[in-house]
């Protein structure tokens, strides 16, 4: 089954908003066993929308458009698609009653502009909008039910010859995420289940850290090869400080195949795997600390508060996170973390002994079970031959003492901070998993 | 000029990652005067990539692809496009030396798999990757330089007849944002300026904070209307805690028109404007502090280190930023910031007196000229009828004393942190500008 998404909106083409529909719909559809084969974004102008829909009709079994169903002058999708397919727009009393009710419940007069939202292409199904006014629309399309491009002003070079298609569905959804998402889940999904036989589809992601993308593949590719021959899909995705291994499969044996693949990756990459699917390292760390009833404090120089910020991004972090010190100036290291000035002088700010004292000081002052400390050179300035930009010392203090690791993270400043925070949190995750 | 973007990556189609390239590239290109006409996302499979590029070639003057240039087996873009256009891949000693150097600087052996990255389609220009290994590629394409679909296994229904094209450019960029973005800015933009006659196009953004998007529009729209009649483009874009006003114009008189518009916006929104174009509040604050030879410390509860992290994102922040305390637990507020336990008991953690004492304590302990303190309820839990989720107190201490402001920031947790940090930094910016 071939699924295509068409996102309309001039603000998308100007790069003023992020297209979150793409990810959301692709993910929902993949989880239903329908991997989207193509997504297109275009401005909300007549020729662009009609051309995109026309092209999609030559390929797809299911087409989902987003946006352009509202009441303002740049909302053209309903009209343009009805025109393209040669369908009249008919006023729906049911939709009108729903919209009247929407405004009545809010004790506001219904704006006249919402009239356009009450029109439905002949023969179409509609989805009443539970969180807004414009209904979603679904059209069953059979061969011969649309006009050719020259009839609607598209130049001949973009006319396509349609293969004889089986039945296709074209679904139009409103643009606002708070309207689109519940409508998809509660109204489109039942239609898909009714019209398209469910294919079994499984996707499982193993999230690793500490190895580069090419190294990850070198390590697992040979082991997975026999499963790939049997239909397993394998993908790799690099992020700052992490590499995802994604295993996918379709059909009856998919779950078993993906499970078998995951076991192989687990065996080979073992302790480099910090989580699965949507897990973030900081969420895993917070969860482990909570389960073990342990607390954490941080002492940050070069990461400048990012480590604390990532930990506190996790809801419920306050149960385990006591706090942190961003000791950018040396005087702050001495005052808040009891780092000795003699240590700073003798070894320099970016050194193993300073990292060690920062971690011990943070653990003592906060009274936490664990403390992580980071000192390094983020750049772009501040490096030397002996300690180039990217040099980092990470220290981890616990009831069992303190240990220090050295890293060389040669990245731009923002990536350096992310990678270093990931290394520090990952170390703690490993200790908590041991 | 017709510009199309093709994003490749199975993880996009599975909805596992958000396509941030679309927004970023569309925005950059629009600012250069080239509004993107179509963006397509497809899986990194052979037929899908070749079909999408082939279609784009029938329409676009400039095609930019993202992803698929890396070293792993699902990185196919370079090979597929070379095949589609009938070009050999030739090993580039210059690219190889660059990649060798990348790993040498990190004291890591070069993985053999990176060999594929050293190959360049014959006749193509390449962009050495300043922040990674895979080079970007740019191919000048003239009529007749590619094969037809059936030669590469695409079914006849998807073969397009090409109009006689003028010269086109196909640019391939690597997928990781930290590689793509500097490469576009420093290497692709010069190529665009060289190859595509610059139409006079001016884009100027005034960045505001403290007002909602519709309020900003209400305030400036009438004043700008006469200039809109003369061809000025006006756009608004809401971000967490900020609203951008974008003024654009084309043609000979564009610069004057945009300048006139900016003066009007400046006059109306005055002190709500914190910067222009790509300015971030934290960069403006660091710059002002540096110019005035003043220092800063932070005390954060609900923002959890994000404020410090944003300040330390700015290169050179160490000249003015002494450090911060993330005082998540009350004990940390007492120990590090000398907040009185009686104040915490009497007024509660999220209160004006606690914010005040945090700011004063941070200023004293760090010995800084300015200190900002934040205490609030990020949610999703922790709210009450009197102090609902989103309640925030921000305090600013300086040689002149301390002041406190109260805000109600009702957002999801991550947006709450960003909006609150923006409010705090913006307040400091205003004080530094006074």
Chain B residue closest in CA terms to A42: B38
Answering whether pTM is above 0.80, one says no
Return the pLDDT at B157.
Answer: 35
Inter-chain contact B322–A328, Cβ cutoff 8 Å? yes
> Distance of CA A132 to CAs A6, A100, B231, Å?
21, 11, 35
Given a cut of 60, is residue A160 above it in pLDDT?
Answer: no
Given a cut of 70, is residue A145 above it in pLDDT?
Answer: no
CA angle B358, B362, B363 (to 5 degrees): 120
Q: How far is B315 from chain A (nearest CA, A)?
A: 7
Beta bridge partners, B393, equal: B375, B406
Antiparallel, parallel or unpaired: β B296-300 and B370-376: parallel
> Distance of CA B236 to CAs A7, A32, B74, B223, Å?
20, 37, 39, 15
A32, A90 Cβ separation under 8 angstroms = no
Region B171-190: what's the mean pLDDT?
A: 95
Q: Which residue has the tokens 């974004």?
A: A41
Inter-chain contact A332–B323, Cβ cutoff 8 Å? yes
A246, A237 Cβ separation under 8 angstroms = yes
B160, B55 Cβ separation under 8 angstroms = yes
What gap in Å lies between CA A49 and CA A27, rounded to an integer?
Answer: 24
Inter-chain contact A39–B41, Cβ cutoff 8 Å? yes
Give, rounded to a whole angstrom, the gap between the first and last alpha carbons of chain B. Answer: 45
Nearest to B161 among A157, A240, A321 (CB): A157
Residue B213 at interface with chain A, using a CB cutoff of 8 Å: no
Inter-chain contact A415–B131, Cβ cutoff 8 Å? yes
Three-class SS state of A2: coil
Residue A319 at interface with chain B, using a CB cutoff of 8 Å: no
A361, A299 Cβ separation under 8 angstroms = yes
**Which among A221, A218, A219, A166 has a CA at the least distance from the CA of A195?**
A166
Region B132-147: what's the mean pLDDT?
A: 80
Residue A331 at interface with chain B, using a CB cutoff of 8 Å: yes
Q: How far is A115 from chain B (nearest CA, A)?
A: 24
Return the pLDDT at B433.
Answer: 86
> Poorest-confidence range of A319-333, A361-375, A376-390?
A376-390
Nearest to B332 among A52, A244, A323 (CB): A323
Inter-chain contact A52–B58, Cβ cutoff 8 Å? no
Given a cut of 80, is residue B161 above it in pLDDT?
Answer: no
pLDDT tens digits, A75-84: 889 999 999 9
Residues of A within 8 A of B165 (CB-CB) are none
- pLDDT confidence bin for A157, thresholds 50/70/90: very low
Burial classification of residue A103, based on how many CB atoms lie within 10 Å of its CB (0-12 exposed, 13-18 middle, 19 or more buried): middle
pLDDT: which is higher, B46 or B405 = B405
Residue B385 at interface with chain A, using a CB cutoff of 8 Å: no
Residue B246 at interface with chain A, using a CB cutoff of 8 Å: yes
Inter-chain contact A305–B312, Cβ cutoff 8 Å? yes
H/E stretch holding A57 reads: helix A46-59
Inter-chain contact A23–B22, Cβ cutoff 8 Å? no
Residues of B within 8 A of A19 (CB-CB) are 19, 22-23
Inter-chain contact B328–A336, Cβ cutoff 8 Å? no
Residue A117 at interface with chain B, using a CB cutoff of 8 Å: no
Residues of A within 8 A of B73 (CB-CB) are 217, 221, 234
Given a cut of 90, is residue A381 above it in pLDDT?
Answer: no
Beta bridge partners, A119, equal: A91
pLDDT tens digits, B296-307: 999 999 999 999
Chain B residue closest in CA terms to A378: B315
pLDDT: which is higher, A144 or B52 = B52
What gap in Å lies between CA A326 and CA B303, rounded to an integer?
Answer: 13
Q: What does pLDDT average to over chain B?
A: 89
> Poorest-confidence range of A70-79, B6-15, B225-234?
A70-79
Inter-chain contact B365–A336, Cβ cutoff 8 Å? yes
Ramachandran angles phi, psi of B304, nearest 5°: 60, 25
**Which among B229, B228, B226, B248 has a CA at the least distance from the CA of B237?**
B248
Question: Residues with Cβ < 8 Å from B151, sequence gap 6 or more?
Answer: none
Cis peptide before A380 (omega within 30 of 0): yes
pLDDT: which is higher, A343 or B106 = A343
Residues of B within 8 A of A52 (CB-CB) are 38
Return the pLDDT at B197.
Answer: 66
- What are the structure tokens assigned to A107, written together? 């004790």
Best of B304, B317, B377, B412 to substitute, by most chain A Cβ atoms within 10 angstroms, is B304
Per DSSP, chain A holds a count of helices (H) and strands (E) of 15, 17
Residue A392 at interface with chain B, using a CB cutoff of 8 Å: no
Q: Give the Cβ contact number of residue A345 at 10 Å.
A: 10
Three-class SS state of A23: helix
Given a cut of 60, is residue B315 above it in pLDDT?
Answer: yes
> Poorest-confidence range of A152-161, A194-203, B285-294?
A152-161
Nearest to A324 among B35, B113, B326 (CB): B326
Return the pLDDT at B144.
Answer: 55
* Residues of chain B numbered 177-196 and touching chain A (CB < 8 Å): 178, 182
Region A271-291: what's the mean pLDDT?
A: 92
Residues of B within 8 A of A212 (CB-CB) are 108, 111
Q: How far is A364 from chain B (nearest CA, A)?
A: 12
- What are the structure tokens assigned to A6, written together? 């068409």
- pLDDT confidence bin for A380, thresholds 50/70/90: confident
CA-based radius of gyration for chain A: 28
What gap in Å lies between CA B427 and CA B136, rounded to an integer?
Answer: 42
Region A89-93: what's the mean pLDDT?
A: 95
* Residues of chain B numbered 251-270 and touching chain A (CB < 8 Å): none
* Residues of chain B numbered 148-167 and touching chain A (CB < 8 Å): 157-158, 160-161, 163
Contact pairs from chain A to chain B, CB under 8 Å:
311
What gap in Å lies between CA A45 and CA A12, rounded to an integer?
Answer: 13
DSSP state letter for A187: I
- pLDDT confidence bin for A412, thresholds 50/70/90: confident
Given a cut of 50, is residue A154 above it in pLDDT?
Answer: no
Chain B residue closest in CA terms to A33: B14
- What are the structure tokens assigned to B169, written together? 């450019």
pLDDT tens digits, A347-377: 999 999 999 999 999 999 999 999 999 999 9
> Poorest-confidence range of B265-279, B324-338, B350-364?
B265-279
Cis peptide before B380 (omega within 30 of 0): yes
Region A251-271: what's the mean pLDDT?
A: 91
Prediction ipTM score: 0.72
What gap in Å lies between CA B21 and CA B400, rounded to an integer?
Answer: 46
A292 CA to centre of own chain: 29
- What are the structure tokens assigned to B70, written together? 């890396």
pLDDT tens digits, A36-87: 999 999 988 888 999 899 889 888 999 999 999 987 767 889 999 999 988 9
What gap in Å lies between CA B261 and CA B254, rounded to an integer?
Answer: 10
Given a cut of 70, is residue A150 above it in pLDDT?
Answer: no
Nearest to A315 among B106, B176, B413 (CB): B413
Given a cut of 90, is residue B411 above it in pLDDT?
Answer: no
% of chain A residues with pLDDT over 70: 93
SS (H, E, C) chain B: CCEEEEEECHHHHCCCCCCHHHHHHHHHHHHCCCCEEEEEEECCCHHHHHHHHHHHHCCCCEEEEECCCCCCCCCCHHHHHHHHCCCCEEECHHHHHHHHHHHHHCCCCCCHHHHHHHEEECCCEEECCCCCCCCEEEEEECCCCCCCHHHHCCCHHHCCCCCCCCCEEEEEECCCHHHHHHHHHHHHHHHHHHHCCCCCEEEEEEEEECCCHHHHHHHHHHHHHHHHHCCCEEEEEEECCEEEEEEEEECCCHHHHHHHHHHHHHHHHHHHEEEECCCCHHHHHHHHHHHCCCCEEEEECCCCCHHHHHHHCCCCHHHCEEEEEECCCHHHHHHHHCCCHHHHHHHCCCCHHHHHHHHHHHHHHHCCCEEEEEEECCCCCCCCCCCCCCEEEEEEEECCEEEEEEEECCCCHHHHHHHHHHHHHHHHHHHHHC
Best of A32, A290, A304 to substitute, by most chain B Cβ atoms within 10 angstroms, is A304
**Which among B271, B212, B219, B199 has a CA at the least distance from the CA of B239?**
B212
Residues of A within 8 A of B70 (CB-CB) are 213-214, 238
Return the pLDDT at A370.
Answer: 98
Return the pLDDT at B252.
Answer: 78
Given a cut of 90, is residue B309 above it in pLDDT?
Answer: yes
Residue B362 at interface with chain A, using a CB cutoff of 8 Å: no
Residues of B within 8 A of A329 (CB-CB) are 318, 321-323, 366
Question: Residues with Cβ < 8 Å from A298, sequence gap 6 or more?
Answer: A307, A308, A311, A323, A324, A325, A362, A371, A372, A373, A374, B305, B326
> Is the Cα torsion angle A32, A34, A40, A43 positive or negative in sign?
negative
Residue B90 at interface with chain A, using a CB cutoff of 8 Å: no
Inter-chain contact B9–A237, Cβ cutoff 8 Å? yes
What gap in Å lies between CA A258 and CA A88, rounded to an integer?
Answer: 48
Region A326-349: what's the mean pLDDT?
A: 95
> Distance of CA B156 to CAs A164, B332, B350, B399, Å?
13, 70, 67, 76
What gap in Å lies between CA B82 and CA A24, rounded to an integer?
Answer: 33
Return the pLDDT at A199.
Answer: 63
Inter-chain contact B72–A311, Cβ cutoff 8 Å? no
Nearest to A18 among B18, B176, B322 (CB): B18
Beta bridge partners, B8, equal: B42
What gap in Å lies between CA B284 and CA B430, rounded to an integer?
Answer: 10
Residue B367 at interface with chain A, using a CB cutoff of 8 Å: yes
> Poorest-confidence range of B42-56, B335-349, B360-374?
B42-56
Nearest to A329 among B37, B315, B323 (CB): B323
What gap in Å lies between CA A74 and CA A43, rounded to an integer?
Answer: 10
% of chain B residues with pLDDT over 70: 93
Given a cut of 80, is residue A200 above it in pLDDT?
Answer: no
Q: Give the Cβ contact number of residue A277 at 10 Å.
A: 12
Return the pLDDT at A283.
Answer: 95
Given a cut of 90, is residue B278 above it in pLDDT?
Answer: no
H/E stretch holding A362 reads: helix A352-366
Q: Which residue has the tokens 């107190």?
A: B393
Residues of A within 8 A of B331 (CB-CB) are 322, 366-367
What gap in Å lies between CA A56 and CA A4, rounded to an integer?
Answer: 7
Q: What are the residue ranges of helices labelled H in A60-188?
A: 77-84, 93-105, 177-183
Return the pLDDT at B151.
Answer: 47
pLDDT tens digits, B42-96: 998 888 999 899 889 888 999 999 999 988 888 899 999 999 988 999 999 999 9
What gap in Å lies between CA A151 and CA A113, rounded to an integer?
Answer: 29
């Amino acid at each position: 089954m071939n699924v295509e998404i068409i996102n309309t909106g001039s603000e998308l083409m100007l790069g003023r908003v992020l297209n979150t529909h793409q990810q959301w719909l692709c993910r929902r559809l993949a989880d239903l066993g329908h991997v989207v084969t193509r997504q297109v974004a275009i401005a909300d102008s007549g020729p662009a929308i009609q051309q995109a829909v026309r092209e999609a009709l030559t390929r797809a079994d299911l087409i989902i458009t987003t946006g352009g169903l509202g009441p303002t002058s740049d909302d053209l999708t309903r009209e343009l698609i009805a025109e393209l397919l040669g369908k009249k727009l008919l006023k729906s009393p049911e939709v009108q009653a729903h919209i009247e009710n929407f405004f009545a419940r809010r004790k506001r007069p219904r704006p006249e502009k919402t009239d356009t939202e009450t029109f439905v292409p002949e023969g179409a199904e509609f989805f009443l909008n539970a969180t807004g006014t414009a209904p979603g629309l679904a059209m069953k399309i059979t061969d011969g039910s649309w006009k050719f491009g020259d009839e609607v002003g598209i130049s001949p070079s973009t006319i396509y010859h349609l293969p004889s298609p089986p039945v296709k569905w074209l679904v139009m959804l409103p643009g606002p995420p708070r309207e689109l998402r519940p409508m998809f889940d509660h109204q489109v999904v039942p239609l898909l289940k009714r019209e398209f036989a469910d294919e079994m589809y499984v996707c499982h992601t193993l999230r690793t850290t500490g190895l580069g993308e090419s190294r990850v593949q070198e390590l697992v590719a040979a082991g997975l090869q026999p499963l790939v021959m049997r239909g397993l899909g394998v993908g790799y995705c690099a992020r700052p400080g992490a590499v995802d291994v994604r295993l996918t499969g379709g059909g009856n044996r998919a779950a078993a195949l993906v499970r078998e693949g995951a076991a192989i990756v687990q065996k080979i990459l073992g302790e480099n795997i910090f989580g699965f699917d949507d897990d973030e390292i900081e969420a895993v760390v917070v969860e482990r600390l909570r389960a073990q009833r342990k607390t954490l404090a941080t002492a940050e120089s070069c990461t400048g508060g990012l480590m604390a910020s990532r930990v506190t991004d996790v809801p419920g972090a306050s149960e385990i996170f006591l706090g942190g010190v961003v000791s950018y100036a040396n005087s702050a290291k001495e005052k808040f973390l009891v780092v000795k000035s003699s240590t700073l002088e003798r070894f320099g700010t970016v050194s193993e002994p300073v990292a060690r004292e920062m971690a011990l000081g943070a653990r003592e002052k906060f009274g936490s079970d664990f403390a992580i400390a980071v000192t390094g050179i983020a750049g772009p300035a501040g490096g030397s031959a002996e300690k180039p930009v990217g040099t980092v010392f990470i220290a981890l203090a616990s009831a069992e003492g303190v240990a220090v690791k050295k890293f060389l993270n040669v990245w731009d400043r923002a990536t350096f901070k992310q990678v270093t925070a990931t290394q520090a949190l990952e170390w703690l995750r490993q200790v908590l998993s041991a």
